[in-house]
Amino acid sequence: MHVINFIAQHFNNIELEYKLKKVNTICAFTGEKISEGYRLKDIISSSFTDYEYIKFQSEHVSRGVGLVLSSRLINGKSGLRNYSYFVTQDEIRILKSNEVEEYLLKEKPTPFVFCITFNGKKHTSFKAIINYSSNNFTIQTDIAPVLVKKKDLDIIYPILKNRYTIIDKNDKNQKTFFTKDEILYGCNNYSKIEKYGINIYYNEENVLKYYRNTMLIKLLTFILQKQIKE
């Protein structure tokens, strides 16, 4: 099954403003034969730039493509591209920012699709892949796909969470040991390092240096939620 159809199966009760047309052609995105579809030019906007994903010569797309790419889908207000989401055979879950970590870390039913948006402006659906492993899987973001291996996640994510812990739970400003930029790129503020623990910091740096400048650490830092120190 094409990933678009895997996602679109959960929107069968949605109708778009564009009329489905009877056709005898193939879908410009999936290449599947279709007897009804939407005009390609009605579905993609003038700001669409991902033409490399339109792989087949056709002026029409399937109903599934129309649903997934629609700008008015979720609650009749926003399109799927505006959200992070998790999809299985049984459901699609639109994820709030504080829910992403749960789906990242928990055992996931297969097959599944996992998409995370950094800015809510670019499509992720037709770029995603269907995952068949909960230990090694790909998260599609609006920047690039990110391969997540459980062994890497178990090593570096606890470090990132510790660094984004609130130092004093009574501090109304909720200052953390380090900012997200300092977590992502490293910190030059020695007083912060000292407060965190010099030996701990540099031991962790010896681990994190192998992940610097990767999409994995960029993604994991992006989804971090502030932790409360025990």
Read off the pLDDT of residues 159-196 as tens digits, 9 standing for 90 and up: 999 999 998 888 778 899 999 999 999 999 999 999 99
Q: Residue holding tokens 């052609």?
A: 25
Query: Does the pLDDT value for residue 12 go beyond 80?
Result: no
Cβ neighbours around 20 below 10 Å, total: 16
Q: Residue 225 burial (CB < 10 Å; 0-12/13-18/19+)? A: exposed
Instruction: Name 141's bridge partners.
Output: 116
Whole-angstrom distance, CA of residue 60 vs CA of residue 131: 28
Burial class of residue 161 (count of CB atoms within 10 Å of its CB; 0-12, 13-18, 19+): middle
Mean pLDDT, residues 145-151: 96
Would you give the DSSP letter of residue 176? B
Prediction pTM value: 0.91
Which of 4-18, 80-94, 134-148, 198-212 has the weakest average pLDDT?
A: 4-18
* Long-range contact set of residues 145-153: C-beta below 8 Å, sequence gap at least 24: 145/215, 146/215, 146/216, 146/219, 147/216, 148/104, 148/216, 152/211, 152/216, 153/104, 153/105, 153/220
**What is the Cα–Cα distance from 57 to 165, expressed in whole angstroms?**
52
